[in-house]
Amino acid sequence: MGFTDRFQKTTEPRHRLGAMEADHYIYSAGIAGEKFFTALRDRGIILASHCKACAITYVPSRLFCERCFAELTDSDDREVGPEGEVATFTLVRQDSAGNALPEPEILAVIRFGHETTGFLHKLGEVSPEKVETGMKVEAVLKPQEEREARITDIAYFRPVKK
């Protein structure tokens, strides 16, 4: 049963059908985001920003440190990955309408060293039973000609072959 099934008789005085519509939104990637996505598309790298004072590396790159407000400039850029470690994960077996997915999706938070922030992405080339916390994974990028400066330019992370 879909979510709207209970609300069909909108001609009754009791209720109205409405929507909070906007045609669309334009979301800004931001100064640091533009740099991150350009590097991902053109150089195939995962760019991060390192705050020396707080000893923390933000993935993706950021314009400022949220802890101390220092401006993070080009000289604070760090390249992280492509290898990282699964900090936590979940398996998704149904879509939002409740239909079974042909293959379960695996979402994971990946860390690139203990001083980095977490990075959300998908896992691939691995069966759900084999996934575990602490697993070493590596980024699989789409071919350069298919990359469009989006987070999905990384196709997924897969286990590092031993």
Q: Distances from the Cα of 156 to the Cαs of 37, 101, 143, in angstroms? A: 16, 17, 13
Region of 29-37, 80-88, 93-101, 108-116 interacting with other proteins (CB under 8 A)? 29-37
Candidates 16, 114, 161, 162; binder of other proteins (CB under 8 A) is 16
CB of 130 to other proteins, least distance (A): 35
Total residues interacting with other proteins, rule: CB under 8 A = 24
| Nearest to other proteins of 40, 65 (CB atom) | 65
89 with 29: CB under 8 angstroms? Answer: no
Q: Is residue 59 exposed (0-12), middle (13-18) or buried (19+ Cβ within 10 Å)?
A: buried
Length of the chain: 162
Tokens, residue 75: 């000289």
- The DSSP symbol for 15 reads -
| Nearest to other proteins of 53, 100 (CB atom) | 53
| Nearest to other proteins of 33, 159 (CB atom) | 33
| Nearest to other proteins of 60, 81 (CB atom) | 60
CB of 71 to other proteins, least distance (A): 8
Tell me how far apart the alpha carbons of residues 74 and 56 are, in angstroms, rounded to a whole number. 16
Region of 1-9, 24-32, 79-87, 140-148 interacting with other proteins (CB under 8 A)? 24-32
113 binds other proteins (CB under 8 A): no
Candidates 45, 56, 63, 109; binder of other proteins (CB under 8 A) is 63
Q: Is residue 44 exposed (0-12), middle (13-18) or buried (19+ Cβ within 10 Å)?
A: middle
